[in-house]
Amino acid sequence: MIRVALAGVGAFGIKHLDAMRLIEGVQVVSLVGRELVKTLVVADQ
């Protein structure tokens, strides 16, 4: 299992998250963003 922390939840960060969903054994454990509300919305998705 590879655990990943992603910095940035803008358009490119969301694209990276979409790609990581397709990789078996990858788990996103942390999101870092400048805007709390936007970061929480992306985390909930």
Total number of domains constituting the chain? 1
C-beta separation of 26 from 4 below 8 A = yes
Work out the average pLDDT over 3-31: 95
Q: What is the pTM of this model?
A: 0.78
> pLDDT confidence of 34, banded at 50, 70, 90?
very high
Q: Given this model, what pLDDT does residue 27 score?
A: 95
Sequential DSSP letters for 1-45:
-EEEEEE--SHHHHHHHHHHHTSTTEEEEEEE-SSHHHHHHHHH-
> pLDDT confidence of 41, banded at 50, 70, 90?
very high
C-beta separation of 6 from 17 below 8 A = yes
> pLDDT confidence of 12, banded at 50, 70, 90?
very high
Domain that holds residue 15: 2-44
